[in-house]
């Protein structure tokens, strides 16, 4: 039954009706202007899932303010029936024009596509993917000078990037002929599904229809996933090569091969020579004909998405809502709804949204049937007031912080200007030296200050050790930063680099090369004159770095030897256990299996450690045990 009044809107006609609701033409009681009002079907008004879908569409539209997107004006609930109002676009959809035989030249198509990419960029920048971009959702206004060349409508299954509860992977929602392959497969999607659909829209504008059409929806979806669409140039003559190539990229099955964003697509379209400056005049589109959106088409203002979708029957015979919400999933929230007027205003009276920004937020589907209404103007006014409140709070905090900082500066000025004591310097230096995540370079000025002012302090030797570590770290970073062969190098640095390159031959080879460097310079020691040179020019410091590397390699090799020995001992113990199990086995086959496993363990030990002297005793023991085993153990086939 058609309502006559929804909040301040007087219903004057029906624009379209679908399986899940309707879109009405209405008159705004405040301004007298026409609007389009979208509602759920009466029998679905109490369905939480359906209400969540409507709520999701409101959430998607609420933040989108772009001349190329049908604008949300207000939303509310009347006697338990949720609704929202949009600007009324009088004109025809692209689908109506194509069905009427309208064809577009490539210049007009490029111009229309540019307008669509600007709208998509705005939606994507707000974290919203349309997911059902198609000719039925592209409206050509009767007055493009006022409303723009094209309007993007119906975000009914739009997905917000940040809400993981909106979409279940594995569910297909959308229109088959204009659906991206990953969407058709029910997989994860992102904004690039809209770019694929845009490529199909461009194709249809020039060729009259999309490349995959006809047959059952499941067959169209299969072709979207698996078949490469024919090139646009094969279907339409005189298409610029750049446009043909762009459409081919947009229709790539792999999202990674498509342009990265709507902005990138817009730039590529702009680079194509000679797009028309005005869509309506270039095409001669007559949007005042009998198919106008003023109430005679099923594709105006998103009505098409109120009709059953491809996902019908997935949730108890009802189409999934707003990209198939989970029933127990988190839904997007609306701003606070106003409470009914205190004077007991009856159902149907207008109660405006309070402007206080901190009122409790509530969900649309949790509210009892009542009359509620809020406009986007209310929301923006509340946002501005909240912003002003935050500004004054922030200003107060900044003033208080400034006063506090001034007090600290005045009160602590003496401490800041006072030179730190030896104890304070020592504490700060050692804290940096003991922190594995600290950068020792921060300690350099502190070290210099300590040694200059407190060189006779008993702790000066420890501070010099920290400085020495810092100098060695400096040399290590130099080696990592500069590759060997990049220019003439001091002799010891060149020898050190050459020795470190032997690491590819194993730690033993590198250790032998480093020890050879020390042998070439047996009598070099640090001198006072050398201490004044930069670290990279001090021979004694390079030799200390050689000694550090030797100690590290020796420690590493000892750990490796200990690990090898422990592994060999454990292998011998496991082999002994298998021997005991073989002796205790009564079944001949089981005994042969234990012997075979024991043979494999022992031969593996010999193969792995046979050339390592530190495990020679264990290897010899393994060889002896193998010689005692029956020959059949080696030849026993694996079960």
Active site residues: 132
Assess contact for 138 and 304: CB atoms under 8 A.
no
CB-based contacts of 104, cutoff 8 Å, min separation 6: 112, 205, 206, 283
Rounded Cα distance between 294 and 618, Å, is 93
Assess contact for 224 and 212: CB atoms under 8 A.
yes
User: Among 173, 184, 170, 182, which Cα is nearest to 220's?
Assistant: 184
**HEC secondary structure over 2-28:** CCCEECCEEEEEEEEEECCEEEEEEEE
The CB density around residue 11, as the number of other CB atoms within 10 Å, is: 17
Token duo for residue 34: 């026409």
Rg (CA), the chain: 39
Phi-psi region of 545 (alpha: psi -120 to 50; beta: other; left: phi over 0): alpha
Assess contact for 93 and 140: CB atoms under 8 A.
yes
DSSP-H helix ranges across 189-251: 192-207, 217-226, 232-235, 241-250
CB-based contacts of 302, cutoff 8 Å, min separation 6: 23, 38, 57, 70, 137, 153, 154, 155, 156
The CB density around residue 376, as the number of other CB atoms within 10 Å, is: 18
Strands laid side by side in the 138-141 sheet: 91-93, 138-141, 151-152
Residue identified by tokens 């100690």 is 551
Token duo for residue 453: 């002012």
Under DSSP, the state recorded for 103 is -
């Amino acid at each position: 039954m058609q309502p006559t009044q929804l909040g301040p809107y007087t219903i004057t006609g029906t624009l379209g009706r679908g399986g899940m609701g309707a879109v009405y033409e209405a008159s705004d009681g405040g301004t007298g202007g026409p609007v389009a009002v979208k509602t759920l079907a009466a029998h679905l008004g109490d369905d939480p899932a359906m209400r969540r879908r409507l709520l999701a569409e409101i959430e998607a539209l609420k933040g989108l303010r772009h001349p190329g997107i049908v604008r949300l004006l207000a939303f509310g609930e009347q006697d338990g029936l949720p609704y929202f109002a949009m600007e009324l676009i009088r004109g025809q959809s692209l689908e109506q024009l194509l069905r009427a035989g309208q064809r577009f030249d490539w210049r007009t198509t490029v111009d229309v596509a540019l307008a669509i990419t600007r709208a998509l960029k705005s939606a994507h920048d707000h974290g919203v993917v349309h997911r059902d971009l198609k000719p039925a959702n592209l409206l050509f206004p009767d007055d493009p000078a006022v409303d723009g060349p094209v309007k993007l409508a119906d975000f009914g299954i739009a997905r917000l990037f940040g809400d993981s509860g909106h979409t279940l992977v594995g569910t297909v929602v959308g229109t088959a002929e204009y659906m991206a392959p990953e969407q058709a497969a029910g997989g994860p999607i992102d904004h690039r599904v809209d770019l694929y659909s845009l490529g199909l829209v461009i194709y249809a504008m020039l060729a009259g229809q999309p490349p995959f059409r006809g047959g059952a929806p499941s067959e169209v979806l299969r072709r979207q996933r698996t078949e490469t669409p024919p090139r646009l140039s094969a279907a339409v003559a005189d298409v610029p090569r750049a446009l043909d190539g762009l459409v081919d990229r947009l229709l790539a099955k792999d999202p990674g091969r498509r342009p990265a964003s709507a902005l990138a697509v817009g730039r590529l379209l702009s680079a194509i020579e000679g797009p028309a400056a005005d869509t309506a005049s270039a095409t001669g589109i007559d949007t005042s004909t009998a198919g106008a959106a003023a109430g005679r088409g099923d594709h105006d203002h998103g009505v098409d998405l109120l009709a059953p979708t491809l996902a019908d029957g997935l949730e108890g015979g009802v189409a999934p809502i707003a990209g198939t919400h989970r029933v127990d999933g988190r839904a997007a929230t609306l701003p606070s709804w106003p409470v009914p007027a205190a004077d007991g205003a009856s159902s149907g009276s207008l109660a405006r949204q309070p402007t206080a920004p901190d009122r409790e937020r509530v969900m649309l589907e949790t509210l009892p049937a009542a009359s509620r209404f809020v406009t986007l103007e209310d929301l923006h006014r509340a946002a501005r007031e909240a912003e002003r409140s935050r500004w004054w709070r922030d200003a107060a905090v900044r003033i208080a912080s400034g006063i506090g900082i001034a007090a600290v500066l005045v009160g602590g000025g003496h401490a800041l200007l006072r030179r730190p004591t030896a104890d304070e310097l020592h504490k700060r230096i050692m804290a940096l030296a003991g922190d594995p995540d600290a950068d020792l370079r921060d300690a350099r000025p502190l070290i210099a200050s300590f040694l200059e002012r407190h060189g006779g302090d008993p702790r000066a030797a420890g501070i010099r050790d920290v400085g020495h570590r810092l100098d060695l770290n400096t040399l290590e970073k130099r080696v990592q930063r500069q590759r060997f062969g990049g220019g003439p190098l001091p002799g010891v640095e060149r020898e050190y680099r050459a020795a470190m390159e032997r690491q590819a031959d194993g730690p033993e080879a590198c250790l032998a090369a480093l020890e050879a460097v020390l042998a070439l310079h047996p009598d070099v020691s640090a001198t006072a004159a050398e201490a004044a040179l930069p670290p990279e020019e001090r021979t004694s410091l390079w030799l200390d770095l050689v000694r550090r590397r030797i100690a590290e390699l020796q420690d590493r090799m000892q750990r490796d030897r200990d690990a090898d020995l422990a592994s060999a001992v454990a292998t011998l113990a496991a082999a002994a256990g298998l021997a005991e199990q073989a002796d205790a086995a009564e079944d001949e086959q089981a005994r042969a299996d234990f012997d075979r496993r024991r043979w494999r363990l022992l031969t593996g030990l010999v193969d792995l450690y046979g050339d390592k002297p530190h495990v020679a005793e264990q290897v010899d023991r393994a060889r002896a045990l193998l010689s005692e085993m029956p020959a059949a153990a080696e030849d026993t086939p694996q079960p």
